[in-house]
Every structure is written in C-alpha cells, then in structure tokens.
Amino acid sequence: MGSLLDAVLSDRERILEDLRTFVELESPSDDKASTDRFADFLLGFVGRRFDCRVRLIQQGVCGNHLRVEAGPPGAARPILLLGHFDTVWPLGTLKAMPFRVEDGRAYGPGAFDMKAGLVIGITALSTLQRYGGLDVPVVFLFTSDEEIGSPSSRAHIESEASRSRATFVLEPAAGTSLKTSRKGVGFFHVRVDGLAAHAGSNPELGVSAIEELAHLVLDLHALNDPTTGTTVNVGVVTGGTRPNVTAASATAEVDLRIRTAGDARRLEEAILGLTPHNPKARVTVTGGINRPPMERTPGIAEMYEVAGRAAAAIDLELSEASVGGGSDANFVAPLGIPLLDGLGAVGDGAHATNEHVLIDSLPVRAALLATMIRELQSMDDSGGAARGA
C-alpha cells in the first residue's frame, strides 16, 4: 500500500487549511445554535472526504452529535474514534484570537483542544480509504458537550464503545506522549445554613455559616494525598450578606481528582458525608463522580503496544503518560474496552490564549492513527482485548 506517512505528508497544506476552517467555525459548548451549525458542517465535510454513512443525533438542550461510519458494514465489531467539537471559548473569541500561523505553530480558539484531533482522525480515515486499507468498520463519534461534562453524549459514547473492538480518543497528546491513564473527576456543591443575627448587638444569637464552611474547607483539603495522587480543591466560596450580619448561608464548589476506582468510592463517600462542627449549623452536599478514573488496564497496555508497532513503522518515537485531567476516555475505561487516548494534536495552551498546535506534527499524528487502524485490522478480533495473529 506504500507509506501512509508519505501519503499524509502530501496533504500537509490541505490539513492546515482544514484546521483553519474548523477553528474559524466557532462552537462553544453552551451555544446550541453554534454547535448544531458545526455538526451540520461536519456532516457534509466528512461525506466529501471519504465514503461513509452518517447520522445526526438530535439533542434538545446540548448541541447535536454526529455518528460517522466508514469501511465495510457487516458483522465485524468496529474500531471507535472519539472526538468533541465543542470548545470553552465564547462566541466572538475569534475577534481577539484569530486563527494565525506563526513559527511553525497554528493558533486559535479550540485548535489544540481539540479541533486538530478531528482533522487528524478525518485525514487518517480518508487516507486509508484512498489507499485501500480500510477493511473493517470504523465509527467516528463527534460530540458537542465534552467541555461541560458530556451530559448528553455519555450514553452514546458508552453504547458505541461497548460494541467496539477498541476505542481511540483524539484528545491532544501529553507533550508528545499518548495517554494510558487519567484521573477520575468529581464535582461537589457544599451548602451551609446557619442563623443570621446582628454581629454587634446580638452575636451570641447567630450561627455563622462562613465560620462553619471554613472548618469544612480545612476538612476537605486534609483529604489531599500526594502518595495516591488524590487532589481535593475548594475553588469557589460564597456567603454572607453584610459585614455586620452573621452569615446565614455559605457555599463552596469542590473539585476532586482520583487515580483508582477504590479511591473514587472512598472519597465520594467522605465528601458526601461531611457533617457540621457546630451542631446548630446544617450542611448539605450534592454532586459526585462525573468521570470515573481511566486506569491502565491490560487492554490499554495492549493498545499501547499496537501504537508502538505503528510508530516503529513510520520511524516515530513513542512514549506514554498519566494525566490529571479527564476526557471521554474515562467513560470507556470502566467498560473494559481496549482503549488509548491522546492520539490528537501535539501543541500546548489548552483553554489558554496561547492555544496552538505544532503544524509539522499534524500529518505525523494522522499517519500514526492510520497505521494503528491498519495494524489492528490485521489482528484477531476475539471479543476481548485484541490479540495478535
């Protein structure tokens, strides 16, 4: 079939122009009209790039999602590609952060996280199909709500992943490394109710919700454990009305990160079970684990071996990393499906004004993904983790 890397390198200029097009079509998570517009755009775009079967997945509140299937339909379990097209950037950000190319880097809102990953996936599939190398079904699920916790796409992700032989997630790389484990993520809301009183005339009648919350913040931060990688952060606090009034209410927003399912259960129980230091105060905690941990399972290790063979075929050095942020890979990992994340862009500045991708890495990452798909096609699909023939 010839060199997939050479084939992709010949499309370098088109890949960059595709990235420009994707970035300049803004799609913030909380703007349904914009994310729907991007989904409609993708529907036509992928149909022009390769033969595929497409289905728009309508949503009522979040943006619509898009399911694309390429390769021969049939009984074989598909390979699943996952990517999101929503971004954290508000509509109109392009005016202050226009797409630009400078010193080998492409800048723009959402370029790194993760529209370049979408371009990489589309390029890999179109290249494989052009060169006759797409022999099994590949499903590409494009979602609209990853940046806000995937509330409407999670069920679709889990359903597609459970039917796949392997799932590849096109989130950005960690440096140049693939991601073989991710921390789980929990979000909690703590509310304290006390009793208002005049802080000067009748302080003994008051129950300060702020004082109680201060104790609870210390309790929460005491759960941090560098030896296990557990982090608990109270990032937002509010409370009170005036300086001369004992605060009747106060709230806190809490972020939790954990490495294992056991730690997830233990820490979730501890946070939801917070009790007041002052028995006259009332504490209410809501929330829970939003994304379970992505632990490095044998299936993930096997997919990393597949990636290693693919990297060797295109003379690419490969490494792996464990990261603290969550992605849709976290939903797939507990299903026991062979999985690999971080197959998207190389760059930096996710969610920051210096967000960018390294242009020269784009065709290389597309060739890596295409070669991985080709490698996986040659392996026995036994119903569990793929095994070499």
pLDDT band at 379 (very low <50, low <70, confident <90, very high): confident
Mean pLDDT value across residues 234-251: 98
pLDDT band at 282 (very low <50, low <70, confident <90, very high): very high
pLDDT of residue 382: 60
Position 386 scores a pLDDT of: 41
Q: Per residue in 352-368, pLDDT tens?
A: 999 999 999 999 999 99
For residues 169 and 331, what is the distance between their CA atoms, to the nearest angstrom? 11
Is the Cβ–Cβ distance between 30 and 20 less than 8 Å? no
Contact in structure between 213 and 239 (CB atoms under 8 Å)? yes
Express each pLDDT in 135-152 by its tens digit.
Answer: 899 999 999 999 999 999
Secondary element (H or E) of residue 134: none
- For the chain, strand residue ranges (E) read 53-57, 65-70, 79-84, 100-102, 105-107, 138-143, 166-169, 178-182, 184-193, 231-239, 249-258, 282-291, 320-323, 339-340, 347-348, 356-358
| CA 134-137-139 angle, 5° bins | 115
Query: Helices 361-377 and 12-24: crossing angle, nearest 10°?
Result: 100
Task: Please measure the distance between the N-terminal and C-terminal CA atoms of the chain and give it in whole angstroms.
Answer: 20
- Write the CB contacts of 6 (distance below 8 Å, at least 6 apart in sequence): none
- Sign, CA torsion 66/70/72/76: negative
Closest to 76 measured CA to CA, from 385, 382, 388: 382
Q: What is the pLDDT of residue 101?
A: 98
CATH class of this structure's domain 4-182+294-377: alpha beta
Produce one character per residue of 136-155: b if its CB has 16 or more CB atoms within 10 Å, e if not: bbbbbbbbbbbbeebebbbe
Residues 6+ away with beta carbon under 8 Å from 358: 104, 105, 345, 346, 347
pLDDT of 383 over the 60 cut: no
Q: What are the residues whose beta carbons fall under 8 Å from the beta carbon of 265, sequence distance 6 or more?
A: none
Q: Among 89-93, 96-100, 115-119, 376-380, where is mean pLDDT lowest?
A: 376-380
Domain boundaries, the chain: 4-182+294-377, 184-291
As a whole number, mean pLDDT of residues 60-69 equals 97
In the chain, the percentage of residues whose pLDDT exceeds 90 is: 93
Question: Would the CATH topology of 4-182+294-377 be identical to that of 184-291?
Answer: no
**Mean pLDDT of the region 174-190:** 97
Supply the pLDDT for residue 1.
40
Cβ-contact 342, 322 below 8 angstroms: no
Q: What is the pLDDT, as a whole number, of residue 253?
A: 98
The answer on pLDDT for 384 being more than 80 is: no
pLDDT value of residue 2: 47
Tokens of 332: 């797939």
User: 387 or 368, which is more confident?
Assistant: 368
More confident residue, 173 or 379: 173
Alpha helices (H) along 87-152: 116-130
Q: What is the CATH number of domain 184-291?
A: 3.30.70.360
- Position 292, amino acid: P
d(CA 168, CA 174) in angstroms, rounded, equals 15
Average pLDDT, the chain: 95
Provide mean pLDDT across the span 120-147. Answer: 94
Q: Which amino acid is at 133?
A: G
Question: What is the band of 389 on the pLDDT scale with cuts at 50, 70, 90?
Answer: very low
pLDDT tens-digit profile of 74-94? 768 999 999 999 999 999 999
Mean pLDDT of 179-201: 97
